[in-house]
Structure 1
Amino acid sequence: MSTESPGHTGPATPAESPQVPSVPPTAVDALARAGSEVLGGPAGRRLAGDGPWWARALPVAVSLTAVAVALGAVGKHHCRTLGWNTPDQFVHACYTDLPVVYTSSGLAKGLGPYADGVSLNQPPVTSALAWLVARFAPYEVTVTAQRVYFDLSTVLLLVAALVVTIAVWTMAGRRRGWDALLVAVSPVLALSALLSFDLAGVALATAGMACWARRRPVPAGILLGLAVATRTYPVLILLAIVLLAVRTGRFRGAATTVGAAVAAWLAVDLPFVVTNVDAWSAYLRAFFDQRAGYGSLWVLPQLAQQAVDATNTSGLPGPAVVVLTIGAWIVWTVLVGVFVLWAPRRPRLAQVAFLLVAGYCALGVSFPPQAALWLLPLAALAVPRWRDQVIWWVAEGAYFGAVWLYIAGQTNTNRALPPELYAMVLLVRLAAIAWLVVCVVREVRTPSTDAVRATRGPDDPTGGDFDGAPDALVVRVA
């Protein structure tokens, strides 16, 4: 292995002209063009950037995002009407953490997020959001209280979804603004947006990336720090920024962003640490106390045992799962780091972040349906090809239905999904994510196949300081 300081691997790409019209997906994507026949054919002048404002990428994407969240709410109608009861909520695939946690955690008693008797096991911002919504819901354990809490949470999560879409549109660049549709029309958004408060963390993380793309390191760091205090995974986006800073030698903006993120995280977390460290650290301790969860690669041994003996659900011991997970994460992080420094052309920020987060999800202790939201904006930016996205969407949709039927079978064997079928769908889901990873690796190794770089515009619309930057360090693996 050797290192080089090659200077510049190619001419810097000039900043994108604000006058450059957007490119509709039907003009550059074969699947989008074929699918458009249902809607009247490929896009014409009105969708090419010079038509009325309501026919342009952002208004259309925002409207479709609202429709997707509304469809998600409609999917919860059965439970919203009759209550979230087991196994009914799983059989009808209308389960959501939001009302269930409200009435079971102690929030419905009017207690604070980290008060004695409240068991949220969530990071501070998520706990604060859950408490804030609870302030406007009835303090009672009833179906009515659950319904009110769910409705209020839906409004909050709709705002978060709109933030994600707008941030993706911002990062995609004017020329590829229609890539925001890959978020707006995704079944992942419709199915999983209302399962938990994960989308709030995704909104903060994506907005932070958008600020970085606009070369605003301090707001980027603050938003990413708040995102880490909402969901832990955005720390991987910060790691992606650091890795690209090493490759380009542009450390100033990266250091500012990381420093602002640490400061924001401490500002949120320290008050809870000082006042009630046990309650604050519950979500961290829970990681080390759990066995393999739904969606995890490590749950497959348990499913294999169940297929042979339905009463045998032991699976891998909890400590073994934690060790395997941490070990797999370390290996994956090292591999991605070497890949970033070895690639013939610097990867785009969205590609690096996607690789890190995809490995984190696929190799984690659990991989619930709502965790796919973490990947949604990153996948849209890293692999903006409709064929590849549809493959992933189909797999996620199949898993969404399968996991609820499998869980329902724990209490109602008449409507159960056999463990072997659940394992098969789980593997299909992981294979679809692996396919997106392969697409990213292939396009980084062969930049001419990268849909973003093949379109005339910035070298890396999400790159911020890294856009058009020369290489300062490249690792050559013999």
Structure 2
Amino acid sequence: MSAPSSPETDRQDLPAESDGFVRGLSQAIGGPLGDHAVRPGARPGRFWNAQRIILALTCLMLAFSWVQKSPCQDGDWQKNIQYTRFCYTDVLALYYAEGLNEGKVPYKDHPVEYPVVTGYFMGALGLPVHALGQKYPEINQGKWFYNANALVLSVLAVATVAMILALRRRRPWDAAIFALSPILLVTATVNWDFLAIALAIFGLYAWARRWPVLAGILLGLGGAAKLWPLFILGPLVVLALRSKRLPPALLTAASAVVTVVAVNLPIALMYRDSWLRFFHLNDERAIDWGTFWYIGRYLDTKWNTGAVGDQGPFQWLSDHIPVLNNLTYGLTILACAAIGVLCLLAPRRPRLAQVAFLVVAVFLIFSKVWSQQYVLWLLPLIVLARPRWGAIIAWTVAEIGYFTAFYAELLGAGTKPVIPEGTFVLASSLRLITVAVLCGLVIREIWRPELDPVRRTYADDPDGGVFDGAPDAGWVSSLRQRLWLEPRPSEPVSLPEHAPPPPPSTPAPVG
């Protein structure tokens, strides 16, 4: 095995040298580069360096994604074409469902089921398209709206890759995991998730550059588009406690809170009922397809456990949504508390991306809703947290398997089933299991930091900002010693002031 790159050099990491899975695949083309080979980007004036190659691959994958969704662009969804061609997109469906095709202003004229930044975004593109359609009735407004959204979301996806490259200057090929992912191909424009994803990754970059206020503003905007970017604030505060860098983290958290309030307040004051629609919908939603709770309910029905009266526990929960809500919140909080304990007791302070991935992943694992496009939330975070191709490819296969089964389930809803229900539950279980395995692998590398591939290239945490290179607070070592997680320092034995010297030891016999 090749020696890892020294953290003290600027030499780029090459996956064929550092990643066992890629090294094995490289044998098909002659193995890793030799010591005397010209490495990518090493030749002066070379245009196609690693960064430009990855950005080009991202654009190519997004172009393929546009082609994959093209059968649905005209909105003529006859004979369930949106399911048989796997091209369904909320972007087009909600142009009509949210009244944008009639010129309705989000929240003012129609309650929107999304947080306000997403609603603003929908209106910013939808209302001009409607006005254009009024002027030129011959155009297909839905198609224009989808293509405008696809263009902007694709730009945000490319910007996300650019930020990953900026965070991993010595490991540019990590971003290829994102650029080449089939997940990007099939879900990039299913919904407006790239709006929140880009803002969250921009926020991580601002934190890495030690701009705490800007980081908070970006994370706040992301949280006002989709809730999950705000979850990154928790890891920031916990890692700040461990590294004695609490003021910048609190400044970021305060900036995020002020931003969320600032963008929500006008809508909350002027159109309170419309603003509350998002919260009411989340409270009232039943168990969604493919979630942990859906799998449990299927097993209840299959095995007829009868644990609560004549119902199984999951079936009972599906009939008592307020209890289910509290249980999902409680399990998520307990899991996040366990992650916090891990952060404080690990032999070395975890990297920010590792903890952020764990927090978002456990939220999805215990959530009652896990829409098909939510997988995009995890993709950039796992690239930053654990850039190992093998496990990510296994997870991707499970996600694509679920994607296929999900569309078969949609196609069979209300008609003759396309696949057995057990097949869909199996696909859902494999997705859940592979996400849990990724969490386990990240936890393993937190507890054994010598296995962390990023720390083989960087001395500490390239995303850490003020955490990078910071020593632990003194109480961390004391706490670990009390819990016997590290050896106590040996204390010298002091003799009384006039104590006689110890007797000489008897020499051992020879022979």
Shared fold (TM-score, shorter chain, > 0.5): yes
- Matched residue, 1:21: 11
1:347-400 CA-to-partner distances (Å, cap 9, x unmatched) read 000000000000011111111121111111110011111111111111111111
Aligned equivalents of 1:306, 1:152: Cα separation in 2: 45
Gaps of 5+ in 1: 1-14
1:93 aligns with 2:86: yes
The answer to whether the aligner puts 1:124 opposite 2:126 as a matched pair is no
**How much does 1:314 deviate?**
6.8
Counterpart of 2:155? 159
Q: 1:298 touches 1:321 (CA, 8 Å); kept in 2?
A: no
Deviation at 1:342, TM superposition (A): 1.1
Q: Among the aligned pairs, what percent are the same residue?
A: 34
- Cα 1:321–1:37 shift into 2, 3 Å: same
Deviation, structure 1 residue 57 = 2.3
Query: For residues 15 and 226 of structure 2, what CA distance do their matches in structure 1 show?
Result: 32
Q: 1:306 to 1:39 in 2, by over 3 A?
A: farther
Conserved? CA contact 1:46–1:56, under 8 Å? no
Post-superposition shift, 1:72?
Answer: 1.3
Matches within 5 A, 1:38-437: 42=32, 45-50=38-43, 52-81=45-74, 83-85=76-78, 87-116=80-109, 118-138=110-130, 144-172=140-168, 174-304=169-299, 316-317=318-319, 318-413=321-416, 416-437=418-439
C-alpha contact 2:75 2:143 (8 A) present in aligned 1: no
Cα distance in 2, alignment partners of residues 93 and 326 from structure 1 = 32
Contact 2:50 2:172 in 1 (8 A): yes
Q: CA deviation at 1:41?
A: 5.6
Structure 1 residue 120: deviation in Å?
2.4
Matches of 1:122 and 1:360, distance apart in 2: 18
**Contact 1:47–1:57 (Cα < 8 Å) also in 2:** yes
Alpha carbons of 1:343 and 1:314: their partners in 2 closer, same or farther (altered >3 Å)?
A: closer
User: Which shows bigger deviation, 33-42 or 370-379?
Assistant: 33-42
The answer as to whether partners of 2:167 and 2:462 remain within 8 angstroms in 1 is: yes
CA distance in 1, matches of 2:94, 2:74: 17
Tell me which residue corresponds to 2:25: 35
Q: Is 1:467 equivalent to 2:468 in the alignment? A: yes
User: Is the contact between residue 54 and residue 176 of structure 2 (CA under 8 Å) also seen in structure 1?
Assistant: yes
1:33-90 C-alpha deviation (Å, 9 max, x unpaired):
3334667764552415445553322211111111121111111122225624573312
Rounded Cα–Cα distance in structure 1 between residues aligned with 2:256 and 2:323:
32
Q: CA–CA distance in 2 between the matches of 1:306 and 1:295?
A: 15
Report SS of the residue matched to 1:87: helix
Alpha-carbon separation, structure 1, partners of 2:469 and 2:27: 37
CA distance in 1, matches of 2:197, 2:106: 21
Residues 304 and 420, structure 1, Cα contact 8 Å, conserved in 2:
no
Alignment partners' CA distance in 2, 1:327 and 1:49: 52
Count of aligned pairs between the two proteins: 457
Does structure 1 retain, via aligned residues, the 8 Å contact 2:112–2:275? no
1:307 Cα deviation from its structure 2 partner? 6.1
**What amino acid maps onto 1:128 in structure 2?**
Y
- CA–CA separation in structure 1 for the residues paired with 2:370 and 2:66: 22
Q: 1:209 to 1:49 in 2, by over 3 A?
A: farther
Q: What is the rounded CA distance, in whole Å, between the counterparts of 2:43 and 2:211 in structure 1? A: 29
* Inter-partner Cα distance in structure 2 for 1:59 and 1:417: 43
**Match for 2:352: what amino acid?**
L
Q: 1:16 to 1:258 in 2, by over 3 A?
A: farther
- The 1:370/1:41 distance shift into structure 2, 3 A limit, reads same
Cα distance in 2 for residues equivalent to 1:244 and 1:341: 8
Is 1:439 the counterpart of 2:464 in the alignment?
A: no
Contact kept? 1:45, 1:51, Cα under 8 Å: no
Deviations 1:437-456 (A, max 9, x none): 1111111111111101122x
Which residue identity lines up with residue 114 of structure 2 in the other structure? Q
Q: Is the 8 A contact 1:343 1:444 kept in 2?
A: yes
After TM superposition, give the deviation of residue 212 of structure 1 in Å. 0.5
C-alpha distance 50-280 of structure 1, shift in aligned 2 (>3 A): farther
**Bigger RCO (CA 8 Å, 6+ sep):** 1
CA shift in 2, pair 1:226/1:85, >3 Å:
farther
CA–CA distance in structure 2, aligned partners of residues 375 and 45 of structure 1: 35
**What letter matches 1:33 in structure 2?**
R
The one-letter amino acid of 1:458's match is A
Report the secondary structure of 2:140's partner residue.
helix
Distance 2:372 2:266 in 1: 32
The TM-score normalised by the length of structure 1 is 0.90
More displaced 10-residue stretch of structure 1: 391-400 or 320-329: 320-329
Give the corresponding residue for 1:4.
none
CA distance, structure 1, for counterparts of residue 139 and residue 294 of structure 2? 33
Tell me the distance in 2 between the aligned counterparts of 1:420 and 1:80: 32
Counterpart residue identity of residue 266, structure 1:
V
> What residue number does 1:7 align with?
none
- Structure 1 residue 216: Cα displacement: 1.2
Q: How far, CA to CA, are the matches of 1:293 and 1:466 in structure 2?
A: 39
Q: Name the residue aligned to 1:12.
A: none
Cα distance in 2, alignment partners of residues 352 and 436 from structure 1: 12
Runs of at least 5 residues in structure 2 that lack an aligned partner in the other structure: 1-5, 305-310, 485-511
Determine if contact 2:111/2:273 at 8 Å carries over to the other structure. Answer: no
Structure-2 residue corresponding to 1:8: none
The amino acid across from 2:355 in the alignment is: V
Counterpart Cα distance in 2 of 1:52 and 1:358: 42
Query: Which whole-Å CA distance do the structure 2 matches of 1:188 and 1:103 have between them?
Result: 26
